[in-house]
């Protein structure tokens, strides 16, 4: 039997421990082991953006491929600039300052996905938690546990129902949006679009574990995507086999700080205003596009194993693997059937 070409992006993550201002980046990238058959060397480039390491790998050669990759990164940077609550001068800032804005283009599309995830999860996903996220400061060099009153006040000013359906935010009304739970996935989708439009046949865009594969990998074996073990950053919980796939993972091990042995991580439960304690360590979601996968992964993480699984099962083309604190894998019906999944041997 011919040895197969094995390659697979790992749904890896950058992790920031708030205890140290220092950034710990753990990048689990593509495993490439060549078999006898010669396949062209992929072009690969990594850049730091959207708070994480983004890797683009394409099976194409030469200057054209390198230019396509460069354009894909530029597109992602453009999206970050237009939608990040940490970058001044965009509509997110205008709305926070109560100056009013009419969302259009990328920001409007991201907001639509965010609203749809908020409605589907009954508000467990909420793109208006900017003030609360800022209070906790997780992933910054000034994380802290806020007081009850601060939390209550920030929650009082949040709520996805306050987002006008038209995307027209009137002046005088302040709302602190944080689209961080969905923007990266959207940027991955757009980067893939740029690569395809540039004539690239196959590749991977991986924004710290929000990733999408496209085309047929040389050697025609399926893409293999590693799902990170939430307990051991360099290990895999399992490997998924798929054709083209959009996948995102949310976990309590990605960004956090610790005080007296308690871990405070970056996914907040709008019901409590505190880091979600739903019994999950990680939520991995597969969806028709990466923006939706990203939003639903965050939502499922907040909802927990039962309600999270329910949310995913209800949506067409959506699958998921939820790993709970007791180490149990809760999977939707398409995992293991539509998407072969090899779980790590204990
Ligand atoms: P990451 O950004 O590490 O990939 P997620 O996609 O799960 O992880 O998004 C988490 C980010 O989304 C947080 O850093 C914060 O900006 C924002 N966020 C936190 N809690 C929520 C929530 N309940 N709903 C929507 N966004 C959230
Ligand atoms: Mg997300």
Instruction: Lowest mean pLDDT of 8-17, 44-53, 182-191, 196-205, name the range.
Output: 8-17
Report which protein residue has its CA nearest ligand 1's atom 12.
181
Domain membership flag for residue 163: yes
Mean pLDDT of the chain: 89
* Number of neighbours of residue 122 by Cβ within 10 angstroms: 13
Tokens representing residue 245 in the block: 């796939």
Cα–Cα–Cα angle for 170, 176, 177, rounded to 5 degrees: 95
Q: For residue 254, which ligand has an atom nearest its CA?
A: 1
Judged against a pLDDT cut of 70, whether residue 104 lies above it is answered with yes
Express each pLDDT in 289-342 by its tens digit: 999 999 999 999 999 999 999 999 999 999 999 999 999 999 999 999 999 999
Q: What pLDDT sits at residue 38?
A: 59
Domain membership flag for residue 244: no
DSSP SS3 for 120: helix
Judged against a pLDDT cut of 90, whether residue 112 lies above it is answered with yes
Say which DSSP state 249 is in. Answer: E
Pocket flag, ligand 1, residue 130 (CB < 6 Å):
no
Tokens representing residue 297 in the block: 């992964």
Q: Which of 140, 158, 176, 181 has most ligand 1 atoms within 8 Å of its beta carbon, as the pocket-test mutant? A: 181
Judged against a pLDDT cut of 80, whether residue 174 lies above it is answered with yes
Report which protein residue has its CA nearest ligand 1's atom 23.
125
Judged against a pLDDT cut of 80, whether residue 34 lies above it is answered with no
Into how many domains does the chain fold? 1
Q: Output the furthest CA–CA distance in the chain (Å, rounded).
A: 69
- List Cα–Cα distances, 104 to 1, 110, 235, in angstroms: 54, 10, 41
Alpha carbon of 298 to ligand 1 centroid (Å): 6
Domain membership flag for residue 166: yes
Q: What pLDDT sits at residue 39?
A: 64
* Dist. CA 284–CA 9, nearest whole Å: 14
Q: What pLDDT sits at residue 233?
A: 83
* Dist. CA 269–CA 305, nearest whole Å: 15
Q: What pLDDT sits at residue 220?
A: 73
* Number of neighbours of residue 308 by Cβ within 10 angstroms: 28
Domain membership flag for residue 206: no
* Dist. CA 266–CA 295, nearest whole Å: 14
**Torsion-angle region of 123 (φ positive above 0: left; ψ -120 to 50: alpha; else: beta):** left
Query: What is the span of the domain harbouring residue 147?
Result: 83-180
Pocket flag, ligand 1, residue 178 (CB < 6 Å):
yes
Domain membership flag for residue 218: no
Domain membership flag for residue 130: yes
Q: What are phi and psi of 213, to 5 degrees?
A: -110, 150
Express each pLDDT in 130-149 by its tens digit: 999 999 999 899 999 999 99
Cα–Cα–Cα angle for 134, 137, 141, rounded to 5 degrees: 135
Pocket flag, ligand 1, residue 184 (CB < 6 Å):
yes
Q: What pLDDT sits at residue 254?
A: 86
**What CATH number does residue 113 fall under?**
1.10.3980.10
Report which protein residue has its CA nearest ligand 1's atom 11.
181
Residues 6+ apart with CB under 8 A from 241: 222, 223, 224, 225, 339, 340, 341, 342
Given a contact cutoff of 8 angstroms between Cβ atoms, the answer to whether 304 and 211 are in contact is no
Exposed, middle or buried: residue 218 (CB in 10 Å: 0-12, 13-18, 19+)? middle
Judged against a pLDDT cut of 60, whether residue 10 lies above it is answered with no
Domain membership flag for residue 94: yes
Given a contact cutoff of 8 angstroms between Cβ atoms, the answer to whether 220 and 326 are in contact is no
Express each pLDDT in 215-272 by its tens digit: 998 887 899 999 999 998 889 999 999 999 999 999 998 899 999 999 999 999 999 9
Domain membership flag for residue 161: yes
Instruction: Lowest mean pLDDT of 25-34, 45-54, 99-108, 215-224, name the range.
Output: 25-34
């Amino acid at each position: 039997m011919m040895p197969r070409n094995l390659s697979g992006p790992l749904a890896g993550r950058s992790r920031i421990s708030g205890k140290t201002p220092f950034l710990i980046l753990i990048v689990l990238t593509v495993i490439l082991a060549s078999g006898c058959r010669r396949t062209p060397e992929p072009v690969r480039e990594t850049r730091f953006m959207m708070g994480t390491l983004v890797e683009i790998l394409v099976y194409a050669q030469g200057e054209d491929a390198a230019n396509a990759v460069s354009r894909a990164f530029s597109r992602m940077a453009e999206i970050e600039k237009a939608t990040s609550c940490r970058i001044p001068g965009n509509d997110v800032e205008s709305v926070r300052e109560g100056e009013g804005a009419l969302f259009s283009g990328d920001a409007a599309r991201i907001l639509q996905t965010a609203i749809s995830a908020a409605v589907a999860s009954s508000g467990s996903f909420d793109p208006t938690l900017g003030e609360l996220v800022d209070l906790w400061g997780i992933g910054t060099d000034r994380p802290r546990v806020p007081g009850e009153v601060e939390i209550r006040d920030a929650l009082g000013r949040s709520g996805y129902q306050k987002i006008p359906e038209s995307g027209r935010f009137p002046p005088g009304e302040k709302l602190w949006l944080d689209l961080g739970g969905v923007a990266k996935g959207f940027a991955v989708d757009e980067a893939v679009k740029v690569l395809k439009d540039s004539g690239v046949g196959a590749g991977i865009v991986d924004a710290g574990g929000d990733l999408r594969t496209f085309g047929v990998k040389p050697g025609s074996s399926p893409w293999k995507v590693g799902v990170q073990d939430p307990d051991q950053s360099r290990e895999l919980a399992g490997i998924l086999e798929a054709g083209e796939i959009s996948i995102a993972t949310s976990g309590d091990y990605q960004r956090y700080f610790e005080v007296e042995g308690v871990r405070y991580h970056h996914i907040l439960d709008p019901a409590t205003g505190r880091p979600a304690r739903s019994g999950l360590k990680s939520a991995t979601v597969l969806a028709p596009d990466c923006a939706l996968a990203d939003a639903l992964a965050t939502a499922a993480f907040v909802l927990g194993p039962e309600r999270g699984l329910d949310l995913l099962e209800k949506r067409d083309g959506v699958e998921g693997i939820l790993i709970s604190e007791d180490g149990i894998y809760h999977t939707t019906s398409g995992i293991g059937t539509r998407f072969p999944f090899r779980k790590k041997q204990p």
